[in-house]
Amino acid sequence: MEGIIGYGAYIPRNRIKVEEIAKVWGADAPSYKRGLMLEEKSVPSPDQDTITMSVEASKNALKRAKIDPADIGALYIGSESHPYAVKPSGTVVAEALGVTPEAHTADFEFACKAGTEGMFVALNLVKAGVIKFGMGIGADTSQGAPGDALEYSAAAGAAAFIFGRDKIVAKIVDTYAYMTDTPDFWRREYQYYPQHGGRFTGEPAYFKHVTGAARGIMQNNDMKPEDFNYVIFHQPNGKFPLRVGKMLGFKKEQIEPGWLVNKLGNTYSGSSPLGLAATLDIAKPGDMLLLVSYGSGAGSDAFIFKVTDRIEEVRNLAPLTRDLLDKNKNYLEYGEYAKFRRKIRKAD
Amino acid sequence: MRDVAVIGIGMTKWGELWKKSLRDIYVETALLALEDAGIDRIDSMYIGSMSSGLFVGQEHIASLLADYLGQLPVPATRVETACASGGLALRLGFMEVASGMSDVVLASGVEKMTDVGGDEATYALGTAADQEYEGYQGITFPGLYALIARAHMQKYGTTREQLAKVAVKNHHNGLKNPLAQYQFEITVEAVLNSVKVADPLNILDCSPITDGAAAAIICPADMARKMGKPLIKVIGTGHATDTIQISQRKDMTWLEATYQAAKQAYAMADKKPEDIDLIEVHDCFTIAEICVTEALGIVEKGKGGEAVEAGLTAMEGKIPVNTSGGLKSKGHPVGATGIAQVVEVTKQLRGEAGERQVKDARVGMTQNMGGSGGSSVVHILERE
Amino acid sequence: MSTPSRYWREIPQRYRLEANKCNRCKLIFFPPRLLCPECKNRDLEKTKLAEKGEVITYTIIRVPPAQFSDQAPYAVGIIELKDGVNLTGQIVDCAFDDIKIGMKVKLEFRKLFEQGHAGILCYGYKFVPD
């Protein structure tokens, strides 16, 4: 039996409210809040990036897994904001955790799906018997161009999952992947901010792939929405995951525990993984979970997990995701946010 | 060992000397010392310079300065113990003369600091700290002393006002030193309201960035006597080290290297703290003077702040400290500071200190410190 | 700008807080050395520092060195870790007014500075409120 043996989250403490951003661009905050179902988003400090958040989320995962980091055979980080264009994030994280040198690492990039890609590969390497433990991390300090709709949602956070065969917290029932070439969102080399296709990111992109993956994995396992206690979708804004859930026949109560986006924003590669971490925080032994990510470009990974008795033992060994989200917040004004996110042009 | 005397001193007005290069400043100063001694040849020279490499991009300055001073081919040695480099230059010169190896030695120091911008100067000075474990964390030189200050305040109840009074006293003294960089009075209020640098230290707690040099000529006392010079003997020298990372010290408020260096110097000179008539100490920051007076045994451990407040170390006090204005008012061209202290004490012992003359001064002490106290050099001078 | 070797060499200390323990006097010290600073013994073993401690002194750096100019003002403190080792490090994620001697802190992995626009990124430990 394979599955998650430890999980951990990390969210920076800085927040900015939708009103604070809207004020600068003369936008109508109430309509943004209604339209996107967003209230505020997390913002990394200047000393935080995909690497540092990955380390902290991984340390929390290790606290729950209680294994020797040196036994981890593969460590994958999915992000669209790897700090280096060339040079892996994974080596830094592996070195900080004590995973080196006998391990495989790779940095994944597939817009917001890169995190679950890392999880997918790490998990399946464990399943294949190639490694004893594998780690998949989704982390991002995503950027939205000033004044663009993305600026209201592009947030920062990380979640890490350790997979193994013993002492499982959530057993893996099945995985599934669904993808086509759909250019709904991209960032060219040397460009600072991403571009997107506006409303094209909806129906032919997010909704098509998320429903495709969800239906595919449910069909393969002969399961229906009511067979799951909880479902976690990628959360680019508040509305999309709720709407896609409704399209598939899920109830709001199944979605809500992992629906963090209204207070967190879109943490890109960290988005659905953080939703999964928050759901594990409240799940009971025997609960069935469906995770469906989405990455522009475009594709979705789907996972079915069955929570085990061990969840009760490990849950409180590391910070709960909702606590990271709700406690110790520090609200920024736009000027400070612009400085933190390097949106101010300074002298060389 | 031969007795050693100071027969010549030189120092020019310190400050932001925009028109002058390192070699200009140095040669001008060293020539004053040669003139004062009434000689034109030396046997050897030592130059204290903390970081000519970072400040002006020039290493190998000993030969360069020997050349420009017209002294080739004498052996010339640059010495470095951060801000204690000057003091160390005197100590090594002393050893060379005392041992009989050389007769006339130039002990000197120089730093040209204003050719780099403020953040680069901050960086250069910061290299006196442990670069891998203090510098890497963004600590600065004022920051290190601020850490000491906060700990001293916590442990002994030293107050922010007491720190300020060190600066006020030294500016008051410096007013009477025509060579000082800053010749103006300041008030406690001005110090407390000055720009914050590294809390709890403000800009007026800090010694300035200065261009300057200082020089002293030493020779065997017998030779000095024959030359008919006022006999200012170097009767004690001490030098000691401590961890350069302050976090590694058992007591962050205590300057062990200064204590050890002073112990050596007192023993060699056969003097006690109460025998000393005046002291020039390394007040790179106000807290430094407080800690140094404790380590020198002038005041009890933890009482440095109270002593300043009570006027013990003032010009008219029991033991005047920093009659020159100290680093605070006179300026702090790091490598030159230790020698400038000797220049001041020599002037006082000769009775040539003008308006700031300490009456009947016979025994004077200098204390020069590197980094946050990782090295310290102490000398005791006496008029025969 | 230095080559990455200087940074790379310190990775075990900066990323994982690797320290030494003296097998004779049992002193734990950081960074590692070839001999025990207390008893000079050379029989040492590798250990890891405690990740929690308390502030024993601190300052707010307002005039930073060049590499840190974008970060000022920032707090730097000396932290006494639970294993008795003192460490100098930045204290982040709290208001300056909330920093007090005796405050409990824990280590977090952060970026310390960048070597210019194109050089390597320099990571290590900082302290956050515990």
How many angstroms away from the CA of A130 is the closest CA of chain C?
Answer: 27
ipTM comes to: 0.97
The parts of chain A modelled with pLDDT lower than 70 are none
Q: Answer whether A90's CB lies under 8 Å from A76's CB.
A: yes
CB contact under 8 A, C109 and A55: yes
Taken as a whole, chain A contains a residue count of 348
CB contact under 8 A, C77 and B147: yes
Taking contacts as CB-CB distances below 8 angstroms, the residues of chain A near C123 are 51-52, 92, 96
CB contact under 8 A, B248 and C37: yes
Q: What is the secondary structure of A151-196 as a DSSP string?
A: GGTB-EEEEEEEEESSS-SEEEEEEEEEEEEE-SEE--TT-SS-EE
Q: Is residue A46 within 8 angstroms of chain C, CB to CB? A: yes
Q: Within 13 A of B51's CA, how many CA atoms are on the CB side?
A: 20
Q: Closest-CA residue in chain A for C109? A: A52
Q: Closest-CA residue in chain C for B248? A: C86
CATH class of A170-307: alpha beta
What is the pLDDT, as a whole number, of residue B321?
A: 98
Taking contacts as CB-CB distances below 8 angstroms, the residues of chain C near A60 are none
Torsions phi, psi of B158, nearest 5? -60, 140
How many angstroms away from the CA of C15 is the closest CA of chain B?
Answer: 13
What is the domain partition of chain A in residue ranges?
A: 3-169+317-334, 170-307
* B120-137 tens-digit pLDDT: 998 999 999 999 999 999
A3-169+317-334 CATH fold: Peroxisomal Thiolase; Chain A, domain 1 (3.40.47)
Q: Do domains A3-169+317-334 and A170-307 have the same CATH topology?
A: yes
Q: Is residue A302 within 8 angstroms of chain C, CB to CB? A: no
Calpha distance A275→A292 (Å, rounded): 10
CATH of the domain at C61: 2.40.50
Three-state DSSP at B25 gives helix
- For chain C, state the CA radius of gyration: 16
* Catalytic (active-site) positions of A: 80, 112, 234
CA distance to A37, A153, B150, per residue, from A18 (Å): 10, 9, 41
Q: In this structure, is the dihedral angle defined by the CA atoms of residues B88, B92, B98 and B102, taken in order, positive or negative?
A: negative
CB contact under 8 A, C112 and B138: yes
DSSP alpha helices (H): ranges in chain B?
Answer: 22-37, 52-56, 61-68, 85-98, 118-126, 141-156, 160-174, 188-193, 221-226, 256-269, 286-295, 304-309, 326-330, 334-350
Q: B: neighbours with 3+ CB pairs under 8 Å?
A: C
For residue C110, give the nearest of A47, A59, A95 by CB distance.
Answer: A47
CB contact under 8 A, C123 and A51: yes
Residues C74 and C117 in one domain: yes
Q: With the CA atoms of A257, A259, A264 and A270 taken in that order, what torsion angle do they form, in degrees rounded to the nearest 10? A: 100
Which of A204-208, B341-345, C66-70, C73-77 comes out lowest in average pLDDT? C66-70
Calpha distance A181→A303 (Å, rounded): 21
How many angstroms away from the CA of C27 is the closest CA of chain A?
Answer: 23
Residues C20 and C67 in one domain: no
Q: Is residue A47 within 8 angstroms of chain C, CB to CB? A: yes
CB contact under 8 A, C65 and B198: no
- Considering the four listed CATH numbers 3.30.750.24, 3.40.50.300, 3.40.47.10, 3.30.365.10, the one that applies to the domain covering B4-116+210-226 is 3.40.47.10
What is the domain partition of chain B in residue ranges?
A: 4-116+210-226, 128-208+235-383
For residue C59, give the nearest of B132, B133, B147 by CB distance.
Answer: B147
What is the pLDDT, as a whole number, of residue B86?
A: 98
Comparing C-alpha atoms, which of B49, B46, B73, B69 is closest to residue B59? B49
For residue B147, give the nearest of C57, C87, C122 by CB distance.
Answer: C57
CB contact under 8 A, A95 and C109: no
CB contact under 8 A, C93 and A56: no
Q: State the average pLDDT over residues B253-276.
A: 98
Calpha distance B59→B78 (Å, rounded): 9
* B366-384 tens-digit pLDDT: 999 999 999 999 999 999 9
Q: Is residue A68 within 8 angstroms of chain C, CB to CB? A: no
Taking contacts as CB-CB distances below 8 angstroms, the residues of chain C near A137 are none
Taking contacts as CB-CB distances below 8 angstroms, the residues of chain A near C129 are 328
Catalytic-labelled residue, pool B152, B171, B332, B379: B332
B and C touch with 3+ CB pairs <8 Å, answer yes
How many angstroms away from the CA of C125 is the closest CA of chain B?
Answer: 9
Taking contacts as CB-CB distances below 8 angstroms, the residues of chain C near A348 are 117
Calpha distance A40→A16 (Å, rounded): 5
Calpha distance B306→B323 (Å, rounded): 19
What is the pLDDT, as a whole number, of residue C69?
A: 87
Residues C56 and C36 in one domain: no
Torsions phi, psi of A179, nearest 5? -155, 150
- Of C49, C64, C82, the residue at which a domain comes to its end is C49
* A245-287 tens-digit pLDDT: 999 999 999 999 999 999 999 999 999 999 999 999 999 999 9
How many angstroms away from the CA of C94 is the closest CA of chain B?
Answer: 16
For residue C123, give the nearest of A59, A92, A348 by CB distance.
Answer: A92
Calpha distance B205→B288 (Å, rounded): 10
Burial class (CB in 10 A: 0-12, 13-18, 19+), B377: buried
What is the pLDDT, as a whole number, of residue B229?
A: 82
Q: Could you tell me what percent of chain B has a pLDDT over 70?
A: 100
Give me the residues paired with residue B368 across strands: B377
What is the pLDDT, as a whole number, of residue C114?
A: 95
Six-digit token pair at B216?
Answer: 């002293």
Residues C32 and C54 in one domain: no
What is the DSSP pairing of strand C28-29 with strand C86-91? unpaired
Q: Could you tell me what percent of chain B has a pLDDT over 90?
A: 98
Q: What is the secondary structure of A332-343 as a DSSP string?
A: PPHHHHHHHTT-
pLDDT exceeds cutoff 90 at C119: yes
> CA geometry: angle at B95 spanning B93 and B99, to 5°?
125
Tell me which DSSP letter residue B253 carries.
Answer: T
How many angstroms away from the CA of B258 is the closest CA of chain C?
Answer: 20
Q: Is residue C111 within 8 angstroms of chain A, CB to CB? A: yes
Calpha distance B281→B254 (Å, rounded): 15
CB contact under 8 A, C37 and B147: no
Cβ contacts below 8 Å, chain B against chain C, sum to 100
What is the pLDDT, as a whole number, of residue C11?
A: 97
What is the pLDDT, as a whole number, of residue C1?
A: 59
Give me the residues paired with residue A161 across strands: A7, A136
How many angstroms away from the CA of C111 is the closest CA of chain A?
Answer: 5
* B49-66 tens-digit pLDDT: 999 999 999 999 999 999
Calpha distance A289→A333 (Å, rounded): 38
What is the pLDDT, as a whole number, of residue C3?
A: 87
CB contact under 8 A, C65 and B122: yes
Q: Closest-CA residue in chain B for C29? A: B248
Give the structural domain span for C13: 1-49
CB contact under 8 A, C109 and A49: no
Calpha distance B239→C80 (Å, rounded): 30
Q: Closest-CA residue in chain C for B135? A: C65
pLDDT exceeds cutoff 80 at C2: no
CATH number 3.40.50.11610 given to B128-208+235-383: no
CB contact under 8 A, C59 and B120: no
Q: C: neighbours with 3+ CB pairs under 8 Å?
A: A, B
Q: Closest-CA residue in chain B for C68? A: B138
How many structural domains is chain C composed of? 2
Q: Is residue A51 within 8 angstroms of chain C, CB to CB? A: yes
CB contact under 8 A, C16 and A95: yes
Taking contacts as CB-CB distances below 8 angstroms, the residues of chain C near B197 are 62-63
For residue C57, give the nearest of B122, B151, B245 by CB distance.
Answer: B151
Q: Is residue C96 within 8 angstroms of chain A, CB to CB? A: no
Residues C68 and C24 in one domain: no
Calpha distance B165→A341 (Å, rounded): 43
CB contact under 8 A, C64 and B197: no
